[in-house]
Structure 1
């Protein structure tokens, strides 16, 4: 699905589905922050209550863990969101273009009918 770390390939190499029109935008980082934040903060608080380690040990443990988890989760979360868009026929996956805002502020079809 990817041609780079987060660069989506124009077409799926297995089935030929066009992926050039997908728009994941800022959703994957928000989901990753939500997941990593819950895991790391829960673990940090549990370790603090149980062992009372010094601050330097917290920093040495939780900062690398946060960075590694974030970088590891970003591609699969982006793939899952693109898959969800495909399943819900969003952003061009349904064979119809999304509606574009018209000059008068209302919504008009992207293609004239």
Structure 2
């Protein structure tokens, strides 16, 4: 992970991750399916074994989207008082759709940031 700087120019982790591209070459695909990672980049052969985004993307998406959707739903209720079925028709599909879209994008961004910052599990130095 550390010896590839001579052959590959640095890429922007946000735009690369948002597009679901390889964090090293920005050409190969990062995902195999919707959220599953490929084993390696087909373009530069970067092994994706280092990538572990954990629950981070889900936490960011739920928190951010929750604030936005609840705020908009409260604004709509206070200003217009629509019936309950209209709230369900608006907010349920919006939450599911945006949540799935943002989950993939933020997972890609977090993996690209892990690669750029050489993130690794913590170790205790006992020497």
Above 0.5 in TM-score?
A: yes
- The CA distance in 1 between the partners of 2:90 and 2:83, in whole Å, is 11
Q: Corresponding residue for 1:29?
A: 58
Answering whether residue 39 of structure 2 is matched by residue 10 of structure 1, we say yes
Question: TM-score, structure 2 length as denominator?
Answer: 0.68
| Rg comparison, structure with higher value | 1
Structure 2: any 5+ residue segments left out of the alignment? 1-29
Q: In the TM superposition, what are the counterparts of 1:89-100 in structure 2 within 5 Å?
A: 89-91=118-120, 98-99=121-122
Question: TM-score, structure 1 length as denominator?
Answer: 0.75
Q: Corresponding residue for 2:97?
A: 68
Is this contact kept in 2: 1:32–1:73, CA < 8 A? Answer: yes
What is the aligned residue count? 97
- The CA distance in 1 between the partners of 2:125 and 2:38, in whole Å, is 30
C-alpha RMSD over aligned residues = 1.8
Superposition misfits of 4+ residues, deviation over 3 angstroms: none
In structure 2, the CA distance between the partners of 1:34 and 1:14, relative to structure 1 (3 Å rule), is: farther
